[in-house]
Structure formats: structure tokens, C-alpha cells
């Protein structure tokens, strides 16, 4: 069954990243970049969400009528490897089913700028996903934003905590915009349509 048929339940769109200005331009923070753009699109400003260690913007996306969706765009304010706690607290606060959670995150095994959308699956070594899966299971949606593999023998941890290169930054706004479009398509029209449009 396509989960988007449960129109009454809100969607929780989680951009994964690390809080703090020193991490803002890191590859690992591309989820925050997409969340910032989505917040801008729904016309809201991030604010603290109750007791949850997260910032949220509440709004609606989609055309008026049955395809209009209530969304909570969130950025956990814990570090990446502890994302599960804040996201689970938001799920409880807003009564969001697991299948209506969308994690937007960086993905090493995909070329830079390429998107892959899926429901469920493993964490592929991603600490943010690992923490979320531990907190409430794996049956949530993922929008995987390709960052590629580190060059040469650079350790993965160093690569993901470095800013995008100057060459990558030339296209970054376009790719972030496309990822935000993919999230909106997923929430409004369902996974299959979003995959056929954005999985490249």
C-alpha cells in the first residue's frame, strides 16, 4: 500500500547533519542544507520543538485539496550519531508513523549529486541512519544524496567532515534544489513516482 494514502498523518522530513557553524558546509551536512531550503519553501523559521533536541518548521506542501500534506521539517541538534533520540521524540510529539519519516542524508556509494530514494533497508555505515533505525526500526524513507567516495587513501571520516570542494560547490545549489523537489514529490505523490522522476 502506498503510505501517502494516509493523508491525515503528518510527514516528518529530517535533514541529517551536525549542529554548529564549523560543520555547516561539510558533505555530512547536506541533509541540513536540503532541510533549510524546504523550510524556506514552506515559509517558516526553525524553532525549538518542545523537549525534543531538534529545530523544526511546520507547514504544508502540495496543491490545495487531497494532495496537500502537513509536514514538519526538522534538524536534530544532537550530533549525527545520536540523531535517533531527537527524531523519535519528534515522532511522539507530532504523532508521525514510521513510514511518514523521511531522512535526507549524504551517501558515499553514489556519485556526487546523484539521488536515490528508497523505503527501509540497511544503514550502509551511516551513523545517523544507524541511530534512527535503533530508535524506531528501519521502515522509514530515505533520500540519499550522493557525495562520492574519498580520493586516494583519505579516511571516510575526514572526507565527510570536509566542506564540498570549490568545483562541487558550483553545482551544489542545483543539486540541493533537486533533492528538495524529490522530497516534495515523495510526500505528495508517493515513492514510486518520486523514484521514477529523481532516481538517476
Active site residues: 28
Written as nine digits, the cell of 18 is 551536525
- Least Cα distance to 117 among 146, 142, 148 occurs for 142
Q: Which residue has the cell 522530497?
A: 183
Let me know: does 45 contact 53? Beta carbons within 8 Å. Answer: no
- Least Cα distance to 176 among 46, 56, 24 occurs for 24
Backbone angles phi, psi at 24, to 5 degrees: -55, -40
DSSP-assigned states of every residue in 27-41: GGGHHHHHHHHHHHH
Amino acid at each position: 500500500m502506498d503510505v501517502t494514502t494516509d493523508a491525515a498523518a503528518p510527514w516528518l522530513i529530517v535533514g541529517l547533519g551536525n549542529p554548529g557553524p564549523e560543520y555547516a558546509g561539510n558533505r555530512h551536512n547536506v541533509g541540513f542544507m536540503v532541510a533549510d531550503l524546504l523550510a524556506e519553501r514552506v515559509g517558516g523559521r526553525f524553532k525549538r520543538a518542545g523537549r525534543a533536541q531538534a529545530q523544526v518548521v511546520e507547514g504544508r506542501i502540495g496543491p490545495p485539496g487531497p494532495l496537500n500534506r502537513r509536514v514538519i521539517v526538522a534538524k536534530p541538534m544532537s550530533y549525527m550519531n545520536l540523531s535517533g533520540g531527537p527524531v523519535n521524540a519528534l515522532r511522539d510529539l507530532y504523532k508521525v508513523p514510521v513510514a511518514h519519516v523521511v531522512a535526507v542524508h549524504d551517501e558515499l556509494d553514489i556519485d556526487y549529486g546523484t539521488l536515490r530514494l528508497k523505503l527501509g533497508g540497511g544503514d550502509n555505515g551511516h551513523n545517523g541512519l544507524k541511530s534512527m533505525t535503533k530508535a524506531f526500526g528501519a521502515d522509514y524513507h530515505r533520500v540519499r544524496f550522493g557525495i562520492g567516495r574519498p580520493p586516494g587513501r583519505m579516511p571516510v571520516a575526514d572526507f565527510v567532515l570536509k566542506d564540498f570542494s570549490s568545483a562541487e560547490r558550483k553545482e551544489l545549489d542545483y543539486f540541493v534544489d533537486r533533492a528538495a523537489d524529490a522530497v516534495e514529490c515523495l510526500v505528495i505523490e508517493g515513492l514510486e513516482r518520486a523514484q521514477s522522476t529523481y532516481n538517476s
